[in-house]
Amino acid sequence: MAKPALGRGLGALLGGVPAVGNPPGAVAPAPSPSSPAEADTHERVQSVPLGRVRPCSLQPRKKFSEEALKELADSIREQGIVQPLIVRDQGEFFELIAGERRWRAAQLVGLAEVPVIVRQADDRAVLELALIENLQRENLNPIEEAHGYAQLIEQFQLTQELVATKVGKSRAVVANALRLLKLVPAIQDAIRDGLLSVGHAKVILGLPGEKQQKTAAERVMKDGLNVRQTEVLVSRIQSGGPSAKPAGAVTPLATDANVVDLENRLRERFGTKVRLKYAQGKGSVEIAFFNDDDLERILQIVGVKVD
């Protein structure tokens, strides 16, 4: 049987309740008495005052596009909220588990009430489901994603392997994401704002000091260096050579396009600097690591167990 794309997925989160189009502000009809969800009153769609719904502090997503919210608000004005919000009852208010974007758009429209499904969930389940929802919709930037994984590990004592299983990712993806949090805050902000790519960040991680990392990041953003050029820049900084040269000066020598493609794929797979030397069917692959944990991570990727 094929593995679900992302852990339990939104089917489990929504309790099997289908999305139904409704007029503005209307509530989707409750499931029929024969449906499994009807047996549990917590799974019924109900209408609650918008003012009683509050965002969740565990929500990994921190940035919401104003333009996208306005587009969603226009849709809600015409069609209503098609998919109910998922909340948990906190007594005086309902706390969002999933659907903060719809909740924010509903505020722009000025709805008095919103359709919700009330779920029973502890903090760990809330964070897991919020991560799954955002990852399925690709709503998280790389830093938000990394913080979500870190919170599961630190707050709920989960291993990287277990986190990967729960969100339907490979352990390598989770490990590579967590490495971004080792970067200085200024560089994390640049990644969050889309000024630096994850590819750039992985190369810059090869520099141990904050000052060196900042120097490299500033050069990359100032001169618009690509990942290959960033590798050359980082190598120069590591060797103590001059770093303040024009972007053209750090362009690597031209090489076979197939070799470059393979290098890029290996770099993505291992989440670190990789050099492929190839000539007439012979050569070598050089995989860089920067500490014992990094080496162990790479060994696990290739299936080598360390006793």
Positions marked active-site: 100
* DSSP-assigned letters across all residues of the chain: -PPPSSTTHHHHHTTTPPP---STTPPPPPPPTTSGGGGSGGGSEEEEEGGGEE--TT-S-----HHHHHHHHHHHHHH--SS-EEEEE-SSSEEEEE-HHHHHHHHHHT-SEEEEEE----HHHHHHHHHHHHHHTT-S-HHHHHHHHHHHHHHH---HHHHHHHHT--HHHHHHHHHGGGS-HHHHHHHHTTSS-HHHHHHHTT--SHHHHHHHHHHHHHHT--HHHHHHHHHHHHTT----S-GGGGPPPP--HHHHHHHHHHHHHHTS-EEEEEETTEEEEEE---SHHHHHHHHHHTTPPP-
Rounded to whole angstroms, the Cα distance separating 89 from 75 reads 27
Q: Which residues contact 193 (CB under 8 A, 6 or more apart)?
A: none
**123-128-303 Cα angle (round to 5):** 130
The radius of gyration of the chain's CA atoms, rounded to the nearest angstrom, is 24
Residue with structure tokens 């009430």?
Answer: 113
